Amino acid sequence: MKYVIIDLAISRDEYMKYYRGQAMQISVRARDGRIVRLPASIMRQFISFSGLRGSFAVYYDDHGRLQQIDRLS
């Protein structure tokens, strides 16, 4: 399966925009330079009191569809 590595540092207040539906996607530049767009709802499982922080492996299929996300750190 193909994957990219992303690093996120989104404050709790900023993430609340996604949670309330004011923003539907998170756009981030992967370590290899590609722009990755993810549905904000898929990242809820990783949110903490301080926000959304860490490195993640984003797995996708041959059509670019999201398959899985794993926290790396």
Confidence of residue 7 (pLDDT cuts 50, 70, 90): very high
Give CA–CA dist 59/61, Å, rounded. 7
Phi and psi torsions of 20, nearest 5°: -80, -10
Q: Tell me the pLDDT tens digit for each residue of 16-73.
A: 887 777 778 999 999 999 999 999 888 889 988 888 999 999 999 999 999 999 999 8
Q: Which helix (H) or strand (E) holds 16?
A: helix 12-19
Is 2.40.50 the CATH classification of the domain at 2-71? Answer: yes
